[in-house]
Amino acid sequence: MTNLSKPLRRSRRHRMIAGVCGGVAEYFEVDPTLVRAIYLTVSVFSVAVPGTLLYLLLWIVIPSPED
């Protein structure tokens, strides 16, 4: 069962670029590779520009992990 009361943060452990997909995967308790594959598929079918802008926006909006 997913605990949606925990905060959404970028991942330090599952980071490839900025940890956005890893953070979303940790939040929903799913495999980070699955989130990356879904993001990549959606991004490619949307001609990559909106997907890239969305990633950059999420990088700015989602806070970094607490130490």
pLDDT value at residue 11 = 86
The list of the chain residues with pLDDT below 50 reads none
The answer to whether residue 35 is domain-embedded is: yes
Does this model's pTM top 0.85?
no
Counting the structural domains of the chain, the total is: 1
| Residue 65 located in a structural domain | yes
Residue 18 is part of which domain span? 7-67
Residue 2 lies in a domain: no
Report the pLDDT value the prediction gives residue 36, as an integer from 0 to 100: 92
C-alpha pair distances (Å), 33 with each of 23, 26, 36, 44: 12, 11, 5, 16
Q: Which residues contact 26 (CB under 8 A, 6 or more apart)?
A: 9, 11, 13, 14, 32
